Structure formats: structure tokens, C-alpha cells
Amino acid sequence: MIPGIDKLSEPSENVAVPQHSNSSSIISALWALLIGATMAAVACGGITTADTQKPLQVVTTTSLLADLTQNVAGASTVVTAVIPPGADVHSFQTTPNHSIAISNAGLIVSNGGGLDDFLYPMIENAQEDGAVHIVASQGLAGASTRQDPHFWQNPANAVHYVRRIQEGLSAADPANAESYRDRADSYVQRLLDLDQEISQILSEVPPSRRHLVTYHDAFAHFGARYGWRTSSLVANDAGGVTPNAITHLQERVRQEGIAAVFTEPQFRSKVIELAARDTGVEVGTIYSDVLGGGSAADTYLDMMRLNARNLVELLR
């Protein structure tokens, strides 16, 4: 049987009911309205109805969002990230293949807050009618002020992302809403456990040494959650490093006796390492986004744990 034909036969069986009663034109009109509403719902549902046999495909802007989404969507759902693991979101260039992937997606998940908004015109052009696009940070304090869009560096914000993703999956594929809720519930519990674990790990660093110095400004939400000060060389990408910024940072490192600064693997610039070498401090690694490819920062949970351990190793 051709998928969809069976479904389409159901409303016509219903049409027969008022014809049998034949007693009231009002009842007939109500039936017509009801059937009309049902057909409209079928049309709006897109992938969930006429294309029921087609599995839901999800496209996310970043690999971190792909990881969070996969945990809620389940292993059988195809989740693809536009920006591959390890690439820098701030300097990313799209290709026509990204538009094709988006046009096949029933759900698109983006971060918002200024991080990936440059992709929105492409998403709006490419997405199919009826596809759902959710912005994971929407509703978080600061999401509209464009200060630091790396909200996930606080696991409480990752909980918010997961609930938004759950809503998006349920809107795109209502038939599986219960499974999405169950998976989101258990993943949220893992995020809450992670938050406790990070607090525990970081407690090894004396309060006076809780100052995270990184290459780019991605850890304000981490700092706010765990009571750390944060400083960075540049606001967002490698293009913005000025000699002035380096001198300023070196002065702070000397004045405050900071023991280590941290580089981020997606920025291949050696600037922070050279600046650190001049001041005689150690250089550690911190991840602002997941890397994938079987790395130690392959998933959000692993990345956050690894970051906390790396901080403790050089700053305790």
C-alpha cells in the first residue's frame, strides 16, 4: 500500500456520516468545518502526516547543538550540524550543500544570541513549509542583548536548550512527543549531575586563583555560574587581536599573579601562547564548543568535565 493513501481515505469515510443522517444542514456544515480543520492540520503537519514514513531529519547550526539534540531525539534520528566539529562558528562560510540539508530537515535548531544569526537568511530561504526552526537560547536572560552567546558554558542554560529542543522535536514530530520528553528528562538529570560534579572539581581551586584567561570571550556564563572572573584577548575571532590587547592582558597576568592562560583549539593562533611565554605563565587548553571525531571533548558532557579538570590541573 502506498503510504498516505490509507490516511487520506479516513476523512472521506467521515464525510459519509452526515450524509447518512441527512437531518440538519447545520450538522452537515459543522462536519464540513471539522473535516476542513483536520485537512488543514494534515497540511501544516508536513513531515508528520502525509510523509509519515519519512524519518525526521534535524539540522543544527553547531556541533554542540547536534550533540544535545541527538540526546533528546534518540540514536535513530539523523542530526547534522551545519558548522562541523572543531570549526570556528564566528568565521564560518556556508555552501549550497548546507541549503540542501536544511531543505530536507523537519526541524532546524540554532543557538541565537548573535552566535549563528548570520545563518538565518539561508535557513529561511531553504527551509520547507511546515519545517520547525527553534532558537535554543530564546527565553534565557541576556539572549537578546548579544553579550556572550556561549550560554551552554553554564549547564543550567544547557537544561534550557534541551527543553527548547524537546519542544521543537515535539512540534515537528508530535507522534513521538512522549519519547522526546522521556529522553529530555533523563538527559536533564545528567546535566544537573554534571553541574554538581563541576562545582566539586572546581572547589580545588582557591578562590583567589579563580580567574579564567582565554583567547576569546566565551566564558561569561561559566564565570557567572561558578564564581570565576573571566578575561580574554579578543571579543570573538582571530582577526581582532591588537598589540594593545596583548599588552593589557600581560599586565593583568603579572599584576594578579595569574598562573595559567587557556587556548581554544578552534583558534589556531599562537598569539596567546606567545603572550603567555613572555610573562612566564603556563598555557592550558579549554574548549568553548564540542570537537567531535572521538576527541576527549567529543560530547557536551565530556567537554565540560574536561574543561573543569584542565582548570584545576594548572590553577589549584
Helix 177-202 vs helix 63-73: crossing angle, to nearest 10: 130
Write out the DSSP string of 15-73: HHHHHHH-S-HHHHHHHHHHHHHHHHHHHHHGGGTTTTTSPPEEEESSHHHHHHHHHHH
Nearer CB in complex with Zn ion: 116/195: 116
Given the rule CB under 5 A, which residues bind Zn ion?
218
Q: Choose among 83, 75, 131, 130: nearest CA to 111.
A: 83
Chain centroid, CA 170 distance in Å: 16
Structural contact between residues 89 and 119, judged by C-beta atoms closer than 8 angstroms: no
CB of 207 to Zn ion, least distance (A): 27
Residue with the closest Cβ to Zn ion?
218
DSSP code for 78: E
Nearer CB in complex with Zn ion: 4/114: 114
Nearer CB in complex with Zn ion: 173/264: 264
Structural contact between residues 115 and 220, judged by C-beta atoms closer than 8 angstroms: no
CB of 166 to Zn ion, least distance (A): 25
Cell 536548550 found at: 161
CB of 90 to Zn ion, least distance (A): 6
Nearer CB in complex with Zn ion: 42/245: 245
Nearer CB in complex with Zn ion: 64/169: 64
